[in-house]
Amino acid sequence: MNSFTYCTPTEVLFGRGSERHAAAEIRKYGGTKALVVYGGESARKSGLLDRIGRELRAENIPFQSLGGVRPNPHLDLAEKGVGLAVQSGADFILAVGGGSVIDTAKAIALGAANPGTNLWDFWEQKAAAGKALPVGVVLTIAASGSEMSNSAVLTNQATGVKRGLSVEIYRPRFAILNPELTFTLPAYQVACGVVDIMMHTLDRYFTLTEGNELTDELAEALLRVVIRNGRAALEHPGQYGPMSELMWAGSLSHNGLTGLGAVTDFATHQLGHELSAMFDVAHGASLSAVWGSWADYCFGQKPERFARYAEKVWGVSGADVRETAKKGIEKTVAYFRSLHMPTCFTDLKIGVRPEKTLRELADRCVFRGARKVGHFRELDREDCYRIYSMANH
């Protein structure tokens, strides 16, 4: 096990009706004026925004609202939010939604605390992120884990570039998790969330680090729970049990717990980011579309690791280590298909792409040759091109 520092200061309020505590939580963490950030009209139509507004007024917390966050959140809306937060004197940002809303709220929190700095410069690593307004979350979808993480992803729609930024200063102060708020989600969004939760752990689990027993066992247990309850959530929508398991698993899958003591990979996320940046596809769908190709390309680096995954998570084995490893990959891809999630470019509804597009995706993934991605197997531009090619059917 490698050395690590672990601190997850986000306070979690879990259960039915927990959103009624949002205003008191803002007050507890020093907020006196809030900016409420949300996505589409579902939060308003469901009455959730009205309920939160009533609680804020009862707590004597003035607030402004900013809606319109979309999947693969855009820089321009975050910049609009920065202006609104500064103009209104907001000192607390409340995200009501899923990962895209939370990431936008984090960006606004960072920009509003540094109003003289170009917001995108933080994501381009041209400016240091030294301070941010506090952020709180009312979660409405189990997926990204952004409610407990220190990361946020933005897309610069002017350039088509998608970037992630991980800094402790905007990790949420609190996260409110009421599984009932997920009951009206479309099946596709639930399935995308299941994939995202799994991938946050799989991208940590596939590591060359040895002797990391407790973290490995935690990751394997989380994956088994998500696989079982992901299927149940789609077969029996609106049930509290499966959605409660998924919501809690999503938070734990991306707060660092399932990768402690290991050198993590995240190549699949990098490959997927370029797909969603170029084609504006859902994040979870981009991950399921390339994971099988990544796994087939990389498992030979350490087939024993994939064999352990097959045995511990899927309960399958083969005649030897390589056959067992392949069975685990096949089980995972088949599971994605059972959720009606894409496992190749045709399934992703972007069709078979010409070679020049695949080359461009690979070039973007490695920042035009400025970096390599992954640690389980370090990938250069040609490796990324080959993985995209394998998924291009």
> Can you tell me the distance from the alpha carbon of 78 to that of 88, in angstroms, rounded to the nearest whole number?
15
End-of-domain residue from the set 181, 206, 227: 181
Per-residue model confidence (pLDDT) at position 43: 87
What is the gyration radius of the CA atoms in the chain, in angstroms? 20
Structural domains of the chain, count: 2
Evaluate whether residue 2 is within a structural domain: no
Per-residue model confidence (pLDDT) at position 45: 86
Evaluate whether residue 1 is within a structural domain: no
The reply to whether 176 and 206 lie within a common domain is no
The reply to whether 228 and 258 lie within a common domain is yes
> Can you tell me the distance from the alpha carbon of 372 to that of 393, in angstroms, rounded to the nearest whole number?
25
End-of-domain residue from the set 128, 151, 181: 181
The reply to whether 139 and 266 lie within a common domain is no
The reply to whether 95 and 129 lie within a common domain is yes
The reply to whether 29 and 94 lie within a common domain is yes
End-of-domain residue from the set 181, 197, 221: 181
Name every residue whose Cβ is closer than 8 Å to that of residue 306 and which is 6 or more positions away in sequence: 206, 295, 299, 324, 325, 326, 328, 329
Per-residue model confidence (pLDDT) at position 304: 98
The reply to whether 108 and 192 lie within a common domain is no
The reply to whether 146 and 61 lie within a common domain is yes
Which residues lie across from 151 on neighbouring strands? 166
Evaluate whether residue 151 is within a structural domain: yes
Q: Which amino acid, one-letter code, is at 369?
A: G
Q: What is the CATH number of the domain that holds 79?
A: 3.40.50.1970
**Integer angstrom CA distances of residue 220 from 25, 173, 227, 309:** 33, 28, 11, 8
Structural domain harbouring 325: 187-391
- What is the DSSP annotation of 276-298? HHHH---HHHHHHHHHHHHHHHH
Burial of 351 (0-12, 13-18, 19+ CB in 10 A): exposed
Evaluate whether residue 5 is within a structural domain: no
- Say how many C-beta atoms besides its own lie within 10 A of residue 240's C-beta: 14
- What is the DSSP annotation of 294-344? HHHHHGGG-HHHHHHHIIIII----SSHHHHHHHHHHHHHHHHHHTT--SS
> What single DSSP character describes residue 182?
G
The reply to whether 50 and 195 lie within a common domain is no
The reply to whether 132 and 280 lie within a common domain is no
> Can you tell me the distance from the alpha carbon of 94 to that of 174, in angstroms, rounded to the nearest whole number?
10
Evaluate whether residue 258 is within a structural domain: yes
Residues of the chain whose pLDDT is less than 70? Answer: none
Q: What is the CATH number of the domain that holds 330?
A: 1.20.1090.10
Evaluate whether residue 38 is within a structural domain: yes
The reply to whether 53 and 113 lie within a common domain is yes
Is the Cα dihedral 200, 172, 156, 374 positive or negative? negative
Evaluate whether residue 4 is within a structural domain: no
The reply to whether 130 and 278 lie within a common domain is no
Overall residue count recorded for the chain in this entry: 393
pTM greater than 0.75 (yes/no): yes
The reply to whether 154 and 43 lie within a common domain is yes
Q: Do the bridges between strand 174-177 and strand 11-14 make them parallel or antiparallel, or are there none, so unpaired?
A: parallel
Tell me if 295 sits within 8 A of 307, measured CB to CB. no
Residue 137 main-chain phi, psi, to 5 deg? -135, 135
Per-residue model confidence (pLDDT) at position 41: 80
